[in-house]
Structure 1
Amino acid sequence: MIHEVDEALRQLVREEALRGTDIEVAFDAPTKDWAARRNAPTVNVYLYDVREDLRRRQRGLLNEYDEDNIVTARHLPPRHMKLSYLVTAWTQRPEDEHRLLSSLLHGFLRHDALPPELLAGSLAEIGLPVAMTVALPPPEDRAFADVWSALGGELKPSLDVVVSAPVDPGRVFPAGPPAREGVRLDLSRGLGSAEEVGHHAEPEGGRVAMRRVRRPAS
């Protein structure tokens, strides 16, 4: 799933901000060593955090139906994972980096979710929106300065892009066969010449009719 989000973001960046340019899109950690080796204008999209989006968690089970609209199995609902990306521009001049960041910001703001035509693999199969936010304040337990400190680099202007991607947990519970008969009631005592042993539910005109069953008294 993560590599599918990576590819969708790569295409989105190229189509929305870098169309007509030969600027590279990289997913490497933007460390000092990486920056020293860079020799061309680059947009870096670095995945620095993965955690569950608890606000989107669903409870219960979802039914699966066959062509006769009969439940054949039940499965857990998808879980949503928040993939946080640090997006930076790398050129020779800060002014060019700022222009590139501005173009990237406008491109991301055009979308509340990754465009469906960019989704592939499990993201396309699951058929749910892949929500996306940009430049929101970070959670209280995380600061961007800490991310740069962990990378060993200097603080640099960046965009925080967070993608909430649905993931199928893969847990399926087969359903039992559907009920074919109604409830039988034992009313067999003290019935004279005939003994009533129960009622049998049968479909009648789209409704359920109760048929009385008798047997000769011994």
Structure 2
Amino acid sequence: MIHEVDRVLKDLLRSGALAGSGIDVSLDAPTRDWSARRNGPVINAYLYDIREDVNRRQRGHVAVRDERDVVVKRRQPPRWFRLSYLVTAWTKQPEDEHRLISAVLATLIPREMLMPDELPGSLRALGLSVPISVAGIQTESRSLAEIWSALGGELRPSLDVVVTAPFPAYPEYDAGPPVTEGAAVRVRTLDDTAPGDRTGTAAGGAAVSETRAHRPAQIEAAKEAYLAALAERGAGRPGGRGGSGGTAG
């Protein structure tokens, strides 16, 4: 992903006020050895710091869609990182270097945001805009003087260019198959037997049908069958109604 940001910045530095100038753009560290090897005017964009922009961190998941706009995967939201570049101009005369720095400013100041269709490869696939800041307040812990000291070179005019780029988060999770059928409504009559109905047996062998709808007609019929079965049982007991009870002797 970083090499794609390098490519975007190089293309930007070759456009605008510098279009057609033939000025070379280098990403090498501007050390003493490098400056001694250069043959002509050069704009150097040295990536000296990479830090996550924690204020942009998000929670949850985002959907990954295919060419049919169907969700095929889910993953965490991308993480955003601040890529800080030290941009300098290298010529034989300080006045020429200042002109190049002015041209860089004129080229980058209007480009505060890069749209997805201006980005290459995986950056474009994320569909997110990329912000660029030029010569802003330095928020990194290392000062420019410390950077030049580490490079072994002399302090010279420079621009701090920060590209805040999204990096996809992993792993990705497969999404379930899409729903292709809508909800269906089925209407049944009281005489229908719904799936899942339970059938029990009342006293005396009468069948009782129990449904989720609690059909009134069936409940009443079961009640009558139950009462008739109780009456039959009572008639068969000694001393019961209709039976041959004992007599006093």
TM-score bracket for this pair, using the shorter chain length = 0.7 to 0.9
* 1:195 and 2:210 aligned: yes
Query: For residue 162 of structure 1, what is the amino acid of its counterpart?
Result: V
Structure 1 stretches of 4+ with a deviation exceeding 4 A read 64-72, 176-181, 212-217
- Asked if the contact 2:115–2:128 (Cα under 8 Å) also holds between the matched residues in 1, the reply is no
* Structure exhibiting the larger radius of gyration computed from Cα positions: 2
> How much does 1:170 deviate?
3.2
Query: For residue 134 of structure 1, what is the amino acid of its counterpart?
Result: V
Which SS does the other structure have where 1:137 is aligned?
coil
After superposition, the Cα gap between the structure-2 partners of 1:79 and 1:140, relative to the gap in structure 1 and judged at 3 Å, is: closer
CA RMSD of aligned residues (A): 3.3
CA distance in 1, matches of 2:20, 2:69: 50
Gapped regions of structure 2 (runs ≥ 5): 184-195, 203-207, 223-249
Which SS does the other structure have where 1:17 is aligned?
helix
Q: Aligned runs of 1:1-218 on 2, under 5 Å?
A: 1-64=1-64, 72-114=72-114, 116-139=116-139, 141-176=141-176, 193-196=208-211, 212=213
- Asked if the contact 1:8–1:114 (Cα under 8 Å) also holds between the matched residues in 2, the reply is no
> How much does 1:176 deviate?
4.6
> How much does 1:31 deviate?
0.4
How many residues are treated as equivalent by the alignment? 199
- Asked if the contact 2:116–2:128 (Cα under 8 Å) also holds between the matched residues in 1, the reply is no
- Greater relative CO (CA pairs within 8 A, separation 6+): 1
After superposition, the Cα gap between the structure-2 partners of 1:16 and 1:66, relative to the gap in structure 1 and judged at 3 Å, is: closer
Q: Between 23-32 and 132-141, report the one with greater CA deviation.
A: 132-141
* Percent of aligned pairs with the same amino acid: 52
User: When the two structures are superposed, what TM-score results if normalisation uses the length of structure 1?
Assistant: 0.78
After superposition, the Cα gap between the structure-2 partners of 1:155 and 1:68, relative to the gap in structure 1 and judged at 3 Å, is: closer
Bigger strand share: 1
> How much does 1:114 deviate?
3.0
After superposition, the Cα gap between the structure-2 partners of 1:162 and 1:23, relative to the gap in structure 1 and judged at 3 Å, is: same
User: When the two structures are superposed, what TM-score results if normalisation uses the length of structure 2?
Assistant: 0.69
